[in-house]
Each structure stands twice: as C-alpha cells, then as structure tokens.
Amino acid sequence: MASAGIRPGAAEERTLAQAFARREDWAFDEAYRRYGTLLYSVALNVLHNVQDAEDCVHDALVRVWRNPKTFAADRGSVRAFLTVVVRNDAISRLRASARRGRLAERLGREDEPAEEFEIDDFVQQRKLRAAIEELPQEQRQPVLLAYFGGKTHVEIAKELAEPLGTVKSRISLGLRKLGAALKEGRP
C-alpha cells in the first residue's frame, strides 16, 4: 500500500529521474520505452507529419542525452521534462519551416535577371567558354542551366534539388567570376 501523499510508481519515477540525471544508459532506454509514444504524439500534434515527428523525437532525445546539464532530477519528472523538450523542439521546427517557406516564396517572386549572353565576336565566345570551364561545378551547372538552358531559378533549384537561395547565390557568384575573368582578358 502506498503511503499518504505518494502515488504508486512515484518511487519508480524518482529512481528513473535520478538515473536519467546521472546518464545511466538503462534510464534512457526506460524513458523512451515509457514515454516514446507520448513524445511522438506531442510532436505529431504540432508538426502534422509522421517523419518530421519521428525526427523531432529522435533529435530532441539525443540532444538531451548528450548534454548532461539539461535535466536535474530535483526539477521534476522525466516525463514532464521530455514532453516539454519535444514540444518546444517541434514548435521550433515548425517556425523554421515556415520561415524557410516564406523566404523561398519571396525569392521565387523576385524577377529573374534579363541578361543574355549574345556574343557575335568569335574571340569573345572562346573567352567566355574558357571562363565558364574555370568555374567550379556547383557554379557552372546553374549558370549554364540559367543562361544557356533558359531555365528559371526555381526550375534550376528543383532540378538540382538545392534550395532556391543557394542556386541564386551560386549563379550570382559564377557571374561575378565570369565578369572578372572576361575583364582580365583571360582566354
């Protein structure tokens, strides 16, 4: 029979909390066994995506376990602590995803550059080709797709499976390098 004021299992929870705070491996396994479904439900309720919820729980638990100062047994139960950690991580992920979405949308609305590479001079064409060949592959490929393939930055980002901002940055850097190479008169 449990003593007054102490619910059944409270001693077990206290033992788990102390072992969890001391980073005992069994405590991590036991916490996951006991609360994994709850933590997943919390993450899924915020993120509304199965894979994101699984990743959230995994990443939050690994981060907590790797940082011994995150949990103190005297501050509460392992269940409550992990629930708050996973919920906060899920909210942070949701906000970061929304920020990335707004940024991609904003970048997608920006006008594409209207520059064309129409060079009638054979020598200039040869210099341009040589300058393009000198570009690193991660800059050369999007420049070629944009200016010789006629693709938009959004199409290039999808084709290369790269973020739109990365594609735009690489094209911009590649164009600056091409401009510098052509000004120097390199073949």
CA 70, 71, 72: angle at the middle one, nearest 5? 130
Q: What share of the chain in percent tops pLDDT 90?
A: 25
CA distance 128 to 113: 18
**What are the structural domains, with CATH classification, of the chain?**
10-109 (1.10.1740.10), 122-184 (1.10.10.10)
The answer to whether the pTM exceeds 0.85 is no
| Per-residue pLDDT tens over the stretch 23-52 | 898 998 999 999 999 999 999 999 999 999
Structure confidence by residue, pLDDT tens digits, 60-114: 998 898 887 888 888 788 999 999 999 999 999 888 888 777 777 766 665 444 4
Angle at 66 between CA 62 and CA 70, to 5 degrees: 100
55 burial via Cβ count (<10 Å: 0-12, 13-18, 19+): middle
Report which of 143, 167, 149 is spatially closest to residue 157, judged by C-alpha positions: 167
